[in-house]
Amino acid sequence: MELRTLGATGLRVSAIGFGGSPLGNEFGNVTDEDGVRAVHEAIDCGINFFDVSPYYGRTLAESRLGQALQGKREKVIVATKCGRYEKDGFDFSAGRVRTSIDESLRRLRTDYVDLFQAHDIEFGDGNQIESETIPALREVQKSGKARYIGITSYQLGMMARIASTIPVDTFLSYCRFNLLIGDMDRLLTPTAEGKHMGLINASPLHMGLLGEAPIPAWHPAPQSVRHAAAQVRQLCRRHNLNPAHVALRYCLQHPYVATTLVGVTSAEQVRTNLQALDLQLEQTLLDEIEALVRPAKDIVWPSGRPENQDYAG
Nearer Cβ to ligand NAD (41/51): 51
- Contact set for ligand NAD, span 90-119 (CB under 6 A): 119
Q: Could you write out the three-class secondary structure of the chain?
A: CCEEECHHHCCEEECEEEECHHHHCECECCCHHHHHHHHHHHHHCCCCEEECCCCCCCCHHHHHHHHHCCCCHHHCEEEEEECEEECCEECCCHHHHHHHHHHHHHHHCCCCEEEEEECCHHHCCHHHHHHHHHHHHHHHHHHCCEEEEEEEECCHHHHHHHHHHCCCCEEEEECCCECCECCHHHHCHHHHHHCCCEEEEECCCCCCCCCCCCCCCCCCCCHHHHHHHHHHHHHHHHCCCCHHHHHHHHHHCCCCCCEEEEECCCHHHHHHHHHHHHCCCCHHHHHHHHHHHHHHCCCCCCCCCHHHCCCCC
Q: Which of 55, 56, 85, 148 is catalytic?
A: 56
Q: How far is the CB of 184 from ligand NAD (least distance, A)?
A: 13
Is 174 an annotated catalytic residue? no
| Listed ranges 87-95, 141-149, 268-276, 284-292: which one lies at the site for ligand NAD (CB under 6 A) | 268-276
Residue 120, interface with ligand NAD (CB under 6 A)?
yes
| Listed ranges 125-133, 161-169, 202-210, 293-301: which one lies at the site for ligand NAD (CB under 6 A) | 202-210
Residue 150, interface with ligand NAD (CB under 6 A)?
no
- Contact set for ligand NAD, span 47-76 (CB under 6 A): 51
- Contact set for ligand NAD, span 220-259 (CB under 6 A): 244
Q: How far is the CB of 79 from ligand NAD (least distance, A)?
A: 8
- The residues that touch ligand NAD, with contacts defined as CB under 6 A, are 19-22, 27, 51, 119-120, 152, 172, 174, 202-208, 211-213, 244, 261-265, 269, 272-273
